[in-house]
Copies of this chain bind each other. A is one copy, B any other.
Amino acid sequence: MDGQGMNQTAELIGGAAESPAAAAARLSGGTAGPEALRPLVDQVLAGLGAGALRRGGPIVPGEPAAVAAAVRAALAQAHGPGALGQLTELLAYGAADPADPHCAAHLHCPPLAVAVAADLAVSALNPSQDSWDQAPAATALESELLAELAELVGFHPDRAAGVLTTGGTESNLMGLMLARDQRLGPDVELNGIPAGVRPRVLASEAAHFSVQRAAALLGLGERAVRAVPVDRELRMDPAALADAFAEAGWEGATPVAVVATAGTTDTGAVDPLHAVADLAARHGTWLHVDAAYGGGALFSKRLAPLLDGLDRADSVSLDWHKLGWQPAAAGVFLAREARTYASLARRAVYLNPADDEEAGYPSLLGQSLRTTRRPDAFKLAATLRVLGRDGLGALVDRCHENALRAAAIVRRTPELELHCDPVLTTVVFRYAVADPAESDRRNAELRRHLLRAGRAVVGRTELPGRGPGRVRLKLTLLNPHTTEAELASLLHAVVEAGENA
């Protein structure tokens, strides 16, 4: 078009005589978009600052019911142009903010400002990656980023295939879906799970619960997942994996996939990838590696060797909203061989007609479980250009060093008991109480005590096994700016809460 349309739109929405309804209906795109966004972004930045000041700590203090009542009241009162700032202040006040050094519970990272700003560009333009003509540059950009990441994990970039995902849960689902469709016959997509098949998915006891969820979703059933025992650090025991294969053989079951974990949620343990890959190869079974957490170690020269053998996986999950400091979502699924990546191929006449493909129009539709899809690749691509791989590696190293420092503090604190040495950036420990049931109660309660006081957000988990005495606390250290003094203060708060709980 000739620009006339944009000028008319600018007239319609701009000028002194603009009505409140017209102002509220301004769009973020086109040449007028930045000016429409500027005052609203100012409202948001002011609301973020005011909310953080009012919160004054890592998490909003108080009981969940009180927070819910405040949200209800704010939603009932807010209306008109100022509502954006009011609701932003509410969201910031009512947050658990991982940028606060005392917020260290989950694989919930404090995002880099550069990644957040890049994500604003994506929201404003709203490209959707289900067809080229909704996302010309974004389509090419995702392909380029995936080739870089394939090389990072040791795959051949020209042979690998992949997609950005909403996270490890979706990536693990995709890995198991490809494994299912490969192993149970090419017809499973068309005709469903063949009758009489008894599928098995072999994963460690410490594998993420999304593996069970994926098996249930895929129609294999959760019980298809067999939990392979782990050592104290929560690494899969390869001898036990060999036993699980043998058991499947005796029972006439079909091993569909082995899932190895590179960075368990709790201890950051990495399964012995070469030993697992050897067994998977011997049995002709798909190997999916869940590196949602541990994948970040690939940026660190010091930690990358932990993931040696990752290049032998058939498919891999990576999550840059964990050790990559991206706002959610920034998941990645990669398959080593593009030819195994056929399950999702679909022809939608309104999105990827055959004659468009012949004319050179690429389509990412067959890469994803989704249709409409935001280009989450952009923020990571921008972050990699601004910081570089080494810059991200330095942040990984700082968090790793903080885990070592925190473990050292736990070791020298008599009230606390370390579970095992940190592998990546988590520290698993407990407030030491001799009676197992009382230990569980006290640790669970002290964590809620810290939440209610708005003083700290500490993780809580349970070791594998049965019976009492397994509840543990956890620091998940993802803030590269946290100092040793702050770690000491955080652990001091845990001790105080343990005494009072």
- Bound complex: CA A497 to CA B223 (Å): 58
Contact check, B385 vs A79: say whether CB atoms are below 8 A apart: yes
Contact check, A356 vs B127: say whether CB atoms are below 8 A apart: no
Stretch with Cβ within 8 A of B (4 or more), from A102-110, A299-307, A415-423: A102-110
List which A247-295 residues lie within 8 A (CB) of chain B: 265-266
List which A92-130 residues lie within 8 A (CB) of chain B: 92-102, 105-128
List which A77-100 residues lie within 8 A (CB) of chain B: 78-81, 83-84, 87-88, 90-100
Contact check, B84 vs A114: say whether CB atoms are below 8 A apart: yes
Q: Which residues of B contact A480 (CB under 8 A)?
A: 25
Given A113-B33, A124-B116, A140-B68, does the pair A356, B448 have CB atoms closer than 8 Å?
A: yes
Contact check, A71 vs B27: say whether CB atoms are below 8 A apart: no
Copy total for this chain: 2
With a 10 A CB-CB cut-off, give which of A108, A114, A136 has the most chain B CB atoms.
A136
Contact check, B209 vs A346: say whether CB atoms are below 8 A apart: yes
Contact check, B451 vs A133: say whether CB atoms are below 8 A apart: yes
Stretch with Cβ within 8 A of B (4 or more), from A37-45, A227-235, A401-409: A37-45
Contact with B along A186-218 (1 / 0, CB 8 A): 011111110110010000000011101101111
- Bound complex: CA A87 to CA B72 (Å): 40
- Bound complex: CA A364 to CA B1 (Å): 46
Contact check, B486 vs A121: say whether CB atoms are below 8 A apart: no
Contact check, B125 vs A5: say whether CB atoms are below 8 A apart: no
Contact check, A118 vs B88: say whether CB atoms are below 8 A apart: yes
- Bound complex: CA A375 to CA B67 (Å): 16
Q: Which residues of B contact A481 (CB under 8 A)?
A: 8-9, 12-13, 25, 27
Among B110, B114, B121, contact of A24 (Cβ-Cβ < 8 Å): B114
Stretch with Cβ within 8 A of B (4 or more), from A50-58, A151-159, A238-246: A50-58
Contact check, A116 vs B127: say whether CB atoms are below 8 A apart: no
Contact check, A169 vs B106: say whether CB atoms are below 8 A apart: no
Is A338 in the interface zone, CB < 8 Å from B?
no
- Bound complex: CA A493 to CA B216 (Å): 51
Q: Which residues of B contact A98 (CB under 8 A)?
A: 29, 126
Give 9 pairs: A residue, B residue, CB < 8 Å, sorted on A: A1-B101, A75-B144, A84-B114, A91-B375, A94-B140, A111-B123, A166-B166, A350-B461, A353-B460
Nearest CB of B to A45, in Å: 4
Contact with B along A336-351 (1 / 0, CB 8 A): 0000000110101110
Given A88-B121, A121-B88, A137-B94, does the pair A126, B113 have CB atoms closer than 8 Å?
A: no
- Bound complex: CA A317 to CA B43 (Å): 32
Given A88-B121, A98-B126, does the pair A321, B372 have CB atoms closer than 8 Å?
A: yes
Contact check, B45 vs A462: say whether CB atoms are below 8 A apart: no
List which A345-376 residues lie within 8 A (CB) of chain B: 346, 348-350, 353, 355-356, 359-362, 369-375
With a 10 A CB-CB cut-off, give which of A96, A190, A218 has the most chain B CB atoms.
A96
Nearest CB of B to A308, in Å: 27
Nearest CB of B to A207, in Å: 12
Contact check, A52 vs B26: say whether CB atoms are below 8 A apart: no
Nearest CB of B to A327, in Å: 4
Q: Which residues of B contact A436 (CB under 8 A)?
A: none
Which residue of chain B has its CB nearest to the CB of A388?
B79
- Bound complex: CA A64 to CA B357 (Å): 11
Contact with B along A1-37 (1 / 0, CB 8 A): 1111110110011000000010011111111011011
Contact check, B64 vs A362: say whether CB atoms are below 8 A apart: yes
Is A329 in the interface zone, CB < 8 Å from B?
yes
Which residue of chain B has its CB nearest to the CB of A77?
B385
Q: Which residues of B contact A114 (CB under 8 A)?
A: 24, 26, 40, 84
Contact check, A52 vs B33: say whether CB atoms are below 8 A apart: yes
Contact check, A80 vs B386: say whether CB atoms are below 8 A apart: yes
Contact check, A78 vs B385: say whether CB atoms are below 8 A apart: yes
Contact with B along A139-150 (1 / 0, CB 8 A): 111011000000
Is A60 in the interface zone, CB < 8 Å from B?
yes
Given A79-B385, A126-B111, A192-B219, does the pair A135, B95 have CB atoms closer than 8 Å?
A: yes
Among B48, B93, B193, contact of A34 (Cβ-Cβ < 8 Å): B48
Q: Which residues of B contact A65 (CB under 8 A)?
A: 360
Contact check, B360 vs A101: say whether CB atoms are below 8 A apart: no
Nearest CB of B to A21, in Å: 6
Contact check, A64 vs B188: say whether CB atoms are below 8 A apart: no
Given A45-B34, A166-B372, A381-B75, does the pair A113, B4 have CB atoms closer than 8 Å?
A: no
Q: Which residues of B contact A75 (CB under 8 A)?
A: 141, 144, 381, 385
Among B27, B47, B121, contact of A110 (Cβ-Cβ < 8 Å): B27
- Bound complex: CA A25 to CA B482 (Å): 13
Given A125-B92, A350-B461, does the pair A216, B189 have CB atoms closer than 8 Å?
A: yes
